[in-house]
Structure 1
Amino acid sequence: MENRRRKPDWLKIRLPEGKTYQNLRGIVKEHKLHTICTSGKCPNMAECWGNGTATFMILGEICTRSCKFCATKSGRPLPADSNEPTRVANSVKLMGLKHCVVTSVDRDDMEDGGSQIWANTIKEVKRVNPNTTMEVLIPDFNGDMDCVETVIQAKPEIISHNLETVRRITPLVRSRAKYDLSLSVLKYIADAGVATKTALMLGLGETKEEIMEAMDDLRACGVEILTLGQYLQPTKKHWEVKEYLHPDFFAEMKKIGLEKGFRVVESAPMVRSSYHAENHIRK
């Protein structure tokens, strides 16, 4: 795995286009809606919006953690907004989404980690949009399985929690989260019979063997859906990209992942957590 610090050609971002994308862009701008697609400058925004999928971030924009790979603001968050579930549900309806992904910042300042607002958001989105399917990308809630259960009981179609990286690199880039704690959250979700999903960033300095070890750990926990993408350094203050991996390597990892028993593996340099999320429901 050759080290290449300069961005290669395969990391060029396709410019947004298409009627559906343009319509959603207009709605988001006019109504000042908050999606992680726009704030995170996701490279797949055009494709996802064109397929009628968008990702919302709840519980504010300030995270109580400061992971070295993430550009989300960190610090002391504002109080949670109890009206947020209604706003998200109405936004989904306004945008006419077929599939909705919801994520959040970590709220270690809240006794329940924000899990009740999570549950209220899921229920309200489903009430207002009965034909819209949902995937939720949740934090680890510091390992409090009662909080995880609160989300499960709201009945989203897919629950995702990102492992982010391999065991060795976890303490180097994740400010508070633990590798085994994340695995325990994923196992709890899978044991509850919910479609379980996670993501790994590649290019942080991990080896091929470590990636495969992480795959084995995830399969042992019952994880069914895995996404693999190239890590990109948000700013000079964040963890440095150690390696830009060729698309062929991602294709190899997809093959290995499917052989290990994952039901779905999305693996390519520009893949992100919610990439092709609407297809994971059907599969």
Structure 2
Amino acid sequence: MVTILDRTNKTGAETSRPRHPEKAKRPETPVLRKPDWIRVKAPGSPLYKETENVVRANGLVTVCEEAGCPNIGECWTKKHATMMIMGDTCTRACAFCNVKTGLPGALDTHEPENVANAVEKLGLNHVVITSVDRDDLDDGGARHFAEVIRAIRARSPSTTIEVLTPDFLRKPGALEIVVEAKPDVFNHNLETVPSKYLTVRPGARYFHSIRLLQKVKELDPTMFTKSGIMVGLGEERNEVLQLMDDLRTADVDFLTIGQYLQPTRRHHAVARFVTPEEFKSFETIAYTKGFLMVSSSPLTRSSHHAGEDFERLRAARAAKLAVA
């Protein structure tokens, strides 16, 4: 049996209340019927339950659940879970995101060790660590990221670590703290093209995010960098191609492109569903622009197949260096 994972019923009506006041104030938008190519299996296998038990036992938050990721059934069955640190409450209210907004609580000092324990129990070869935005902290949570990285290294030294960070806007020195902790991949998502930032990602600045990724390479040229966007938000094709050029100017290695899926009627509407053929075209063009790795499909997400993609990323760099 296959199903579409979302928070609406068959009529498109919302089945749960908005998760926080900011999004509750937004007007309702229509929910488009999903095409046949956006279909996933419902979660519930024994291995899925095993992953869920490890997450619960360590009191962890995952972006898989908080963001309503459609790939949770597949990933958790493979014991892949993306840990979301620093709580489940974000200081921003982006129009695409299903994570709740509000004033977050104090950081959990035991969280780095709890995350490391879960990584060890799940036997992860590659782990993705992300977080909510923590604009309330003087370093945006950078030191906490570093502590989590160090805790994982101590417990599982062979595990490769990918971080998906906020933009650390107006937090001088924050980026340097994370890079100094030596994650294997530094990921920061642009999310959308610059013309859509005001309505989709109003708390962020497009060129600040580009500069953030560029600076990672300046601080550590050997560190892999990665960024991702959603399409179907009303962007034009030429805007996506220009975004690719901007990322290559910042020497970003890996680009992900996926379909935006509207969590509830209170979120930004889906302008259209991009076809698999268009995603393939984006992938082809991105490779010609010089990305070492590209993942472009309707169900692509930043952390989907991250471990397998990391191995391919390393192989691509090795091949490029061999030719040079």
TM-score between both structures, scaled by the size of structure 1 = 0.93
Question: For 1:182 and 1:40, how far apart are their aligned partners in 2?
Answer: 21
After superposition, the Cα gap between the structure-2 partners of 1:238 and 1:155, relative to the gap in structure 1 and judged at 3 Å, is same
For 1:228, the equivalent position in structure 2 comes to 257
Question: For 1:33 and 1:64, how far apart are their aligned partners in 2?
Answer: 19
For 2:205, the equivalent position in structure 1 comes to 178
For 1:149, the equivalent position in structure 2 comes to 176
Question: For 1:124 and 1:187, how far apart are their aligned partners in 2?
Answer: 27
Cα pair 2:61 2:88 within 8 Å, conserved: no
For 2:292, the equivalent position in structure 1 comes to 263
Larger radius of gyration: 2
Question: For 1:167 and 1:175, how far apart are their aligned partners in 2?
Answer: 11
Cα deviation for residue 30 of structure 1 reads 5.0
Question: For 1:240 and 1:143, how far apart are their aligned partners in 2?
Answer: 30
SS at 1:274's partner residue?
A: coil
Cα deviation for residue 68 of structure 1 reads 0.6
Deviations 1:215-259 (A, max 9, x none): 000000011101000001111111111011111110111111111
> Which residue of the other structure, out of 181, 184, 194, is the alignment partner of 1:167?
194
Task: State how many pairs are aligned.
Answer: 280
Q: Which shifted more, 254-263 or 50-59?
A: 50-59
> Which residue of the other structure, out of 64, 69, 86, is the alignment partner of 1:37?
64
Question: For 2:125 and 2:152, how far apart are their aligned partners in 1?
Answer: 12
Cα pair 2:186 2:225 within 8 Å, conserved: yes
Q: Which shifted more, 77-86 or 31-40?
A: 31-40
Give yes or no for the alignment of 1:115 onto 2:142: yes
For 2:308, the equivalent position in structure 1 comes to 279
Q: How does 1:45-60 map to 2 (within 5 A)?
A: 45-60=72-87
Cα deviation for residue 171 of structure 1 reads 1.7
Cα pair 1:162 1:198 within 8 Å, conserved: yes
SS at 1:229's partner residue?
A: strand
> Which residue of the other structure, out of 187, 192, 215, is the alignment partner of 1:188?
215
Question: For 2:114 and 2:247, how far apart are their aligned partners in 1?
Answer: 34
SS at 1:234's partner residue?
A: coil
After superposition, the Cα gap between the structure-2 partners of 1:279 and 1:163, relative to the gap in structure 1 and judged at 3 Å, is same
Cα deviation for residue 26 of structure 1 reads 3.7
Give yes or no for the alignment of 1:84 onto 2:111: yes
Cα pair 1:54 1:97 within 8 Å, conserved: no
Q: Which shifted more, 83-92 or 202-211?
A: 83-92
Question: For 2:227 and 2:172, how far apart are their aligned partners in 1?
Answer: 17
Which residue identity lines up with residue 203 of structure 1 in the other structure?
G
SS at 1:27's partner residue?
A: helix
Q: Which consecutive residues of structure 1, in runs of 5 or more, have no partner in the other structure?
A: none
Which residue identity lines up with residue 149 of structure 1 in the other structure?
E
Q: Which consecutive residues of structure 2, in runs of 5 or more, have no partner in the other structure?
A: 1-30, 314-324
Q: Which shifted more, 43-52 or 114-123?
A: 43-52
TM-score between both structures, scaled by the size of structure 2 = 0.82
